[in-house]
């Protein structure tokens, strides 16, 4: 519990403020705390770690770190694709069985996706290889 909340609860316990006032004050404190915690937990990199046992090369480790900014820049790059080429991309994806519309890939949608990626962890573990994909 942080200092501000403790003070509010102390004031409430002493009867100096009402429960409604305490509720409003706590809500205000939470609001001011929210941007700090979000900025602190911002996703910066996509990490891919592979630990494989190759029959030819022996134990192999792969460590890839991709900045999220690169993902954002890539999406911005899709914005300059001519309309005709966009249709071709969509058509090619449909042929592969992927129902995807490149027109819907916007920076706003991407931010939402990156926000969700914060909690993403993919672990693949079998006898010959371990793969871990996560964001940090």
Partner 1 sequence: MKGEILPPMSARMHVRPAGWRFGVKLWLPLFLLWLLLIPLLLVALPVLFAASLIFRFSLWRSLKAANGVLAASRGSEVEVDNRASRIFIKLD
> Applying CB under 8 A, which of residues 44, 92, 100, 136 lies at the interface with partner 1?
44
Nearest residue (CB) to partner 1, 76 versus 94: 76
Q: Where are the alpha helices (DSSP H) in the chain?
A: 3-13, 19-40, 68-78, 83-95, 107-117
List, as one string, the DSSP characters of 90-102. HHHHHHTT----G
> Applying CB under 8 A, which of residues 35, 59, 119, 126 lies at the interface with partner 1?
59
Distance CA 112, CA 117 (A): 9
> Segment 70-89, which members bind partner 1 (CB under 8 A)?
70, 72-74, 76-77, 79-83
Residue 41's contacts (CB-CB under 8 Å, 6 or more residues apart) are 118
- Told to check if 127 binds partner 1 by CB under 8 A, we report no
Binding span for partner 1 by CB under 8 A among 21-29, 63-71, 88-96, 102-110: 63-71
- Told to check if 39 binds partner 1 by CB under 8 A, we report no
Shortest CB 56 distance to partner 1, Å: 9
* 50, 127 contact by CB (below 8 A): no
Segment (H or E) for 66 = strand 58-67
Binding site for partner 1 (CB under 8 A): 44-45, 54, 57-67, 69-70, 72-74, 76-77, 79-83
């Amino acid at each position: 519990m942080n200092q501000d909340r403790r003070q509010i609860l102390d004031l409430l316990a002493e009867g100096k403020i009402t429960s409604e006032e305490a509720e409003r004050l706590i809500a205000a404190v939470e609001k001011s705390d929210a941007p700090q915690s979000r900025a602190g937990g911002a996703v910066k990199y996509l990490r891919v770690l592979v630990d494989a046992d190759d029959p030819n090369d022996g134990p192999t480790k792969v460590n890839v770190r991709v900045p999220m900014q690169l993902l954002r820049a890539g999406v911005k790059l899709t914005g300059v694709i001519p309309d005709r080429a966009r249709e071709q991309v969509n058509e090619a994806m449909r042929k592969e069985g992927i129902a995807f519309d490149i027109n819907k890939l916007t920076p706003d949608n991407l931010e939402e996706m990156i926000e969700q990626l914060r909690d993403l962890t993919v672990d693949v573990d079998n006898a010959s290889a371990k793969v871990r994909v996560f964001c940090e």
